[in-house]
Structure 1
């Protein structure tokens, strides 16, 4: 199943909001990406930034499950959204 770019962006923005509201995980995201709190606001409309949010989320299955459970989404939704935002040209199988 494929997801539209518009739905992918909405899902990624929901992931960003979920992440911003997670007091334990937000500092990990900021520390690992070098992003600041201001970047969360200023770059939220940039597909590249939203891809980084989804990629971070997908680093740990428990994070994906917590987000998807909270939003009542299938567990493959973040991956589908990431593919729609980044495009298939970005996929590497090695």
Structure 2
């Protein structure tokens, strides 16, 4: 798996954050799971570590990441490739 460039990864993660904010059912789950506040969503939208946490959250459930990919017209592997380019991406172990 080839990671995306850092800039491309951040752009994809910002799109994922925007999608998440627009999802009234999933946003409360994200806020509860991460401890983030609505203010954090605005203040940290360009923070690579925060964006990585958005992708980590969405990647926990195939239905969530599939819904995002379909809405943004991304291939299913793009979020994982983006996650690999963000801080801590090399440390992710899915086994």
TM-score band by shorter chain is over 0.9
Shift of residue 86, structure 1, vs aligned partner: 2.2
Deviation at 1:91, TM superposition (A): 3.4
Residues paired across the two proteins, number: 94
Q: Distance in 1 between matches of 2:18 and 2:36?
A: 15
1:73 match:
74
Q: Does 2:53 match 1:52?
A: yes
Match of 2:37 in 1: 36
Unaligned ranges ≥5, structure 2: none
Q: Distance in 1 between matches of 2:10 and 2:50?
A: 11
TM-score calculated relative to the size of structure 2:
0.92
CA displacement, residues 48-83 of structure 1 (integer Å, 9 cap, x when unaligned) = 100000000001000011000001101111111110
* 2:5 pairs with 1:17: no
- What are the ranges of 5 or more consecutive residues in structure 1 without an aligned counterpart? none
TM-score (norm 1): 0.93
> 1:2 offset after TM fit, Å?
2.9
Distance 1:29 1:93 in 2: 20
Query: Equivalent residue of 1:59, what SS?
Result: coil
4+ long deviations beyond 3 Å: 91-94
Displacement of 1:45 in angstroms is: 1.1
